[in-house]
Amino acid sequence: MKKKEGLSASLEDYIEAIYHIIEEKLVARSKEIAARLDVSRASVTEALRSLSKKGLINYAPYEAITLTQEGEEVAKDVVFRHEALKHFFMEVLAIEEPLAEEGACKVEHTAPPEIIARMIAFTEFMGICPQGDDQLLKGFAEYSKKGQTSEKCSNCISDFSEGQN
C-alpha cells in the first residue's frame, strides 16, 4: 500500500474520484469530478493543480485527466482502505451499506495502516476460526439490532460461564 505523505483528505477524495471515473471512462474530465464530488469546477481546478504539482496526475486545462503511475498507486491505496473499512463495517459490525459507506469515506483518511491491516486480519480470522463462524457474526448483527442475544447465544454464554467456575 502506498499512502502519500502530505496528501489531505480532500485531495485523497479527488484522486479516488479520478480513479473511479477513469475505471469507467478511461479518462476523467473536471466536470465529471465536480459532479461526482458535488463541488464547484473552481474547487476541482485548484485540486487538479495541486495533484499535478505532486506528480500524481497528468493535467492541463481543458484536457483529459489521467493518473501518473504514482498517482494510480496512491489512488489504489485509498480505494483499498475505503473498501476494507466498508467491508468490516458491514460484515463484522452489521452496519447498513449507506452508513458503512459514509463511515468508510471518513475513516479511510485518518486510520493508520496498522489498524486497517488488523481489521482485515480479524475478518480473515473470523472466516477460518471454528468458533468464529458465520453464526457468530449473525448473532452479533441480531444483538446490534435488538439489544439482546438470541437464545442460542444465551445458552452458549451460560455454558461458557459455567466452565469458568
Within-domain flag for 4: no
Residues 56, 132 within the same domain: no
Residues 55, 110 within the same domain: no
Whether the CB-CB separation of 82 and 105 falls below 8 Å is answered with: yes
CB proximity list for 53: less than 8 A, separation 6 or greater:
none
Q: Looking at 75, 102, 121, which one is the last position of a domain?
A: 75
Within-domain flag for 59: yes
Within-domain flag for 24: yes
Residues 39, 103 within the same domain: no
38-59 pLDDT tens trace: 999 999 999 999 999 999 999 9
Torsion of CA 13, 14, 16, 18, to 10 degrees: 160
Q: Looking at 35, 55, 75, which one is the last position of a domain?
A: 75
More confident residue, 127 or 80: 80
pLDDT interval class at 67 (50, 70, 90):
very high
Torsion of CA 89, 93, 99, 104, to 10 degrees: -20
Q: Looking at 40, 75, 110, which one is the last position of a domain?
A: 75
